[in-house]
Amino acid sequence: MAEGLISQQQIDRVKEIAKEKGVDVEHLTPAEQFERDNIEQFNRALRIKKGRKYFSMSVWPGNIPLKFDFSKWKPDLQPNVEKAKQLGNQAYKAAKSIVSHPNNYVLAGIRGTGKTSLALAIMYQAKQEGLGVMFVSTDELSSLIGKQYDLTDVKNRLSDIERAMKETDVLILDDFGTEGGMKGAIKPVRTDMQEFMYRVANARVDFENNKAKRSTIITTNNSRQQLESMYNEKLISRLMTSNPERQLAFDLKDVRGI
């Protein structure tokens, strides 16, 4: 046998060993496909890691993480069952849509009607689909911004929070407007909070194509006009969609029973 050539006996032996190991040598992945699969697997792992990082930077009300999914949405608790079903369907469609088409959504209405619950359901659905998600209570965020001048660790944390808010695929801004006061006592939001939010808003817009670069979902008890009296109008226009198809009006009853 010429040097460097492999005998049929050797080939058969390799096949036997491969069979014992459960390897199908007749259908091995081509080298290029194998490389592509490895790259996809690496990128998927990287997205999951980044997604966990964004989620860990969430600013929860009272520092208590919240959880809700679509299976827990109960339209029967509302007098207007059909309206509650419609809102649940709209939210579910939004969750599916933002996986491939970043967009902004507004969930508006009085307290206790399920705005935060459905925003959470959208967020966790997006997380399950592999997107990076982050939840931010704007009232808690405003409190942190006020504390940064006295506490160095808070200032450092805010820097990380801002970066995550700019980069995450899906950002929930919960109870947006609460930081500007309750109805009847609405006032402009503190300047440092406005500047912080403006930087975040700018980072989430694709100005070249005039569309959302990443999805921002707002829950609020306030009207757009009220929010514009709290914040710069340009900031509101960057965060709040004017498309009625992406505005979920919670014309429901407060069912918290508190």
Tell me: the pLDDT tens digits for 135-175? Answer: 999 999 999 999 999 888 999 999 999 999 999 999 999 99
Which CATH code, of 3.20.20.80, 3.40.50.720, 3.40.50.300, 1.10.540.10, is assigned to 81-250? 3.40.50.300
Going by C-alpha positions, the residue among 178, 110, 109, 108 that lies closest to residue 138 is 178
Q: DSSP readout, 122-144?
A: HHHHHHHTT--EEEEEHHHHHHH
pTM here is 0.81
pLDDT band at 258 (very low <50, low <70, confident <90, very high): very low
Q: What is the pLDDT of residues 3-61, one digit of tens each?
A: 555 567 766 777 777 777 776 766 666 666 666 655 666 566 666 666 688 999 999 99
β 211-212/205-206 pair status = antiparallel
Q: Where are the beta strands (DSSP E) in 138-239?
A: 170-174, 205-206, 211-212, 215-220
pLDDT bracket for residue 244 (50, 70, 90): very high
For the record, the structure tokens of 171 come out as 């950002």
Instruction: Break the chain into its structural domains and give their ranges.
Output: 81-250
User: pLDDT (tens digit, 9 = 90+) per residue, 119-145?
Assistant: 999 999 999 998 999 999 999 999 999
